[in-house]
Structure 1
Amino acid sequence: MMKKALQILITVWFLVGSPAAWAQQGQYTIGLPCLEYQTCASSEAEAFFTEVYGRIGIVPAFAYLPRLRDLEDANDGHTDACAGRTKASYQPYENLIPVKTPVATETIVAFTLKEGLRIDSWKDISSLRVGIVRGAQLPLQLCKQKGIERYVVGNTLQQVFHMLAESRVDAVVHHLQVGLNTARSIGIPVRMSNVLYRDMVYHVLNRRHAGLAPKLARIFGEMLEDGTSARLLGKWAGMLPEPLE
Structure 2
Amino acid sequence: MKLLIAMAAILFALQSVAKEYNINVSESMSFHLGKKQVEQIFTAIYEPLDIAPQFHYLPSQRGLRWVNLGQFDAEAGRVESAMHQFDSLIPIPTPLATVRLAVFCLDPQFCQVNYKEGMVIIKGSLLSVQFCERFALNCHAVQNTISAFQALAKSHSLQLLATDHFSIGSLCDSGLQKIYMYTLPGQGVNVRHYIHKKHLPLLSKIDLSIKEKLANGELNAFINRLSNEFANCNGEIIELVAPPSPKDQLYP
Q: What is the TM-score normalised by the length of structure 1? A: 0.76
Q: Gaps (5+ residues) in structure 2?
A: 1-12, 229-252
Aligned equivalent of 1:158: 146
In the alignment, structure 1 residue 57 sits paired with structure 2 residue 47: no
Aligned equivalent of 1:176: 164
Contact 2:121 2:148 in 1 (8 A): yes
User: Which amino acid counterpart does residue 132 of structure 2 have in structure 1?
Assistant: C
Correspondences of 1:96-175 after superposition (within 5 Å):
96-119=89-112, 122=113, 125-149=114-138, 151-175=139-163
Distance in 2 between residues matched to 1:31 and 1:237, nearest whole Å: 24
Distance in 1 between residues matched to 2:97 and 2:227, nearest whole Å: 9
Post-superposition shift, 1:101? 0.7
Post-superposition shift, 1:231? 4.2
Aligned equivalent of 1:242: none
User: Which amino acid counterpart does residue 129 of structure 2 have in structure 1?
Assistant: L
Q: CA RMSD in A?
A: 2.8
Post-superposition shift, 1:187? 2.4
C-alpha deviations, 1:27-64, integer Å up to 9, x for none? 11111123455x99622221211121110121111111
Distance in 2 between residues matched to 1:115 and 1:41, nearest whole Å: 28
In the alignment, structure 1 residue 46 sits paired with structure 2 residue 39: yes
Q: 1:195 to 1:206 in 2, by over 3 A?
A: same
C-alpha deviations, 1:129-175, integer Å up to 9, x for none? 211233333212211212323x3333333233222122221101112
Contact 1:112 1:171 in 2 (8 A): yes
Post-superposition shift, 1:217? 1.0
Q: 1:187 to 1:220 in 2, by over 3 A?
A: same
Contact 2:150 2:175 in 1 (8 A): no
Q: 1:213 to 1:176 in 2, by over 3 A?
A: same
Contact 1:36 1:182 in 2 (8 A): no
Q: Gaps (5+ residues) in structure 1?
A: 1-14, 239-245
Correspondences of 1:78-89 after superposition (within 5 Å):
78-89=71-82
User: Which amino acid counterpart does residue 126 of structure 2 have in structure 1?
Assistant: Q
Post-superposition shift, 1:212? 0.7
Instruction: Find the residue that maps to 1:190 and give its secondary structure.
Output: strand
Q: 1:161 to 1:118 in 2, by over 3 A?
A: closer
> After TM superposition, which residue ranges in structure 1, 4 or more long, deviate above 4 angstroms?
231-234
Aligned equivalent of 2:180: 191
User: Which amino acid counterpart does residue 26 of structure 2 have in structure 1?
Assistant: P
Aligned equivalent of 1:221: 211
Post-superposition shift, 1:196? 5.2
Match of 1:92 among 66, 85, 88: 85
User: Percent identity at matched positions?
Assistant: 23
Distance in 1 between residues matched to 2:226 and 2:33, nearest whole Å: 14
Aligned equivalent of 1:70: 63
Q: What is the TM-score normalised by the length of structure 2? A: 0.74
Distance in 2 between residues matched to 1:50 and 1:153, nearest whole Å: 31
